[in-house]
Amino acid sequence: MNIYVNQMGYLTNSSKFAILALPQEACADTPLSPAHVQICKEDGACLWEKDAVFFGPDASSGDFVWQLNFTELTAPGTYVIRYKDTVSYPFTVGDELYGNLNRLLSKMLYYQRCGMELTEEYAGNYARKACHTAPSVLWTEYERFLTGELSEADLQTFDIRGGWHDAGDYGRYTTAAACALGHILYAYRFFPEAFTTSLNIPESGNGIPDILNECRYELDWMLQMQTEDGSVYHKHTTQNHAAFVMPHEDTNQMLLLPPSSMAVADFVATMALASRIYRPFDEEFADRTLTAAKKSQAWLDQHPEFLFEHVKECRTGGYGDRSDIDERMWAAMELYRTTGEACYLEQAKHFFEQHPNPVQYGWADISGFAGWSLLEDELIQAPNTPSTESTDFSSAEAEFRTVYKEHLLKEADQLLEVIASCGYGVALEAKEYCWGSNLSVLNRGMLFATAYRLNPKPEYHTAVIRQMDYLLGVNATDYSYVTGVGAHAFCNPHNRITVADDIDETIPGYVSGGANGTRWVDPLAKELIPEGTPPMKSYVDRWECYSLNEITIYWNSPAIFCAAFLDSVK
C-alpha cells in the first residue's frame, strides 16, 4: 500500500486529503474495505486513528484508491500517516505554508533572468555571469547572410537584452512571456496581501512590491520587442537550442523572428494591464506601457487577419497557433478596462461570441484572461464583501459580465464532476495527461479560484487545494513536482543551467511539466516508461526527458497564482 500526501503540508483550517493506493493487479487478496490508518507526530507518537474510505479503481493511475479526509487535524506540527508497516512522507500543518511556497516559486523568475549577472548576494551558490548581451539581428536578414546574399557588415543590429529565459532553453518568446505575466500580474491584482515580503532581488526595498519589480524586468524586455510600426517580434532566440552549457557560454547569434498577430495582441493586453497595475508606483512607466499598447492595437486594427510565419529553419520553440481570437479578445478587454473606451468592449464581445470555451489560461488559449479583466472589480473583492468599485456599468458591459460569469461557473461545476470521478481528486481525465500536464492541473486550479471569488462555494476552494495537493505529492508518482519542496521532490529538471552548473543541489522553486501519457514523448521517456503505463504514472525524474521534466516560466506562474490565492483565502 502506498500513501500519498502533500509533502509541503496542509493549511490549519482548510481541507486535508491523503490517498492510499495499490495497483489494481495487487488487489486480488486485499479486502476492498476501509483502510484503518494512524496519524502520528513525526517522532512516532500516535495522535488518533481514522478510516480511509475505499473509492475504487482510478482510471488515470491504474490504482485501487482509498481516500483519507483528515480536515479535522488542525494542531500545527509535523506529522506522518501510518498504515500497517507503511509510513507516508512527513508533512506540516500550519498557516504560512503557501506564503513560503509563493516566495519560492516567484524567486525562480530571478534565476531565469537573462542579460545580467546574478550575484552571490541575491543568487547565493547559483550566482553566474551575464549572458546574451551581444547585438541581435533580424531572421529575415540572417537567412540572406547564411546564403551569402548579405555580408555580416550589412546586417542591421539591435541591442535587445533582458527578460526571463523561457524554459529549459535560453530563448525568449513574446506569447509565453505574456502568459506568465498575465498569471502573475492578476495574482497580484486579486491577492496583493500575498506579495508583501522581500524576494531578495536587486530591486528589493525600492518601495515597489518585489513581484512587480521582477515582472518589470520581463516587461522591459517586451517593450524592446515592439517595432516602429507597432508590430511585435514573435521570439528572440538563437537558430538552434544551445548545448547544455551555462548561459554566458551560449555565444550563438541572437535572432528576432518575424512578428505574429498573437504576439502583437498579447503585447497590447500585457501593456494595458501593466499600465493599471504600475500606475500607483510609477506613472511614467504606466504612461509608457499604455502608449505602447495603443500603438500596437492600431497595428492590429490595420491587420485583422491571422498572421504567423512558421520558420522551420529556426528550431527553437515555435509557439505557433491556429487562431488569434483569444489574444485579440484579451487585448480589447484590457484596453477597455484601462481606457474606458466603449469601442474596445464591442471588439471583446465580438471575439467572445466566436470562442467556444473562453475560460482557458494557457499560452495557446488565453481567453480566460479577458474574463479576469471583464470581472476585475468583483475578483478583487474578498467573497461576501460589498464592492468598493463602481458598479455603474453600461448595459452592454452588464450583459457581457452576466453571460461570461454564467459560462465560467458552469465550467467550474463540470470540472468538479471530473474531480469527483478521479480517485486522486485531480481535475484531469485520463486522456489529458499530455506534455505539460501540470499546467492543465494548475490552470484548472486558477479557474476554481476565480469561481470561488465570484461564488464562494466551499467546493471551489477545496478544488484549488486538491490541485495543489496533486502538484506537491498526492499523485501516483509519489513526487512533489516542485524542486526543493517535500521529502521526495523531483530534482532533475530539463534545464540547461541546473545541468551545467556543477552544483548537486537543484535551484528550488521550479515546477516540472509532469506526467505525459501520450505518444508525444522524447526518446528516453519512451525507453524508460513501459508501454501501457497508466497516464498519471508516465513520468521519470530525468533531465534528459524534456517531454516530462522541462521547466518554464508559465508553469511556475499559475502555481504562483494558486499559492497566492490559498495564502490569502485560508
Catalytic residue numbers read 169, 494, 541, 550
* 10: amino acid identity, one letter: Y
Q: What is Dmax (Cα atoms) for the chain? A: 78
DSSP secondary structure letter of residue 430: G
Query: What is the Cα–Cα distance from 446 to 228, expressed in whole angstroms?
Result: 36
> H or E element: which one contains 449?
helix 437-454
**In sequence order, which residues have a C-beta less than 8 Å from that of residue 417 and are 6 or more positions away?**
none
Q: 128 has which bridge partners?
A: 118
Query: What is the Cα–Cα distance from 250 to 239, expressed in whole angstroms?
Result: 12
Q: Up-side HSE of residue 103: CA atoms within 13 Å toward CB?
A: 14
Question: Quick check: 261 and 300 in contact, CB under 8 A?
Answer: yes
Burial class (CB in 10 A: 0-12, 13-18, 19+), 284: exposed
For residue 133, how many other CB atoms are within 10 A of its CB? 14
Coil, helix or strand at residue 543: coil
Q: What is the DSSP string of 272-299?
A: HHHHHHHTTT-HHHHHHHHHHHHHHHHH
* 94: amino acid identity, one letter: G
> H or E element: which one contains 18?
strand 17-23
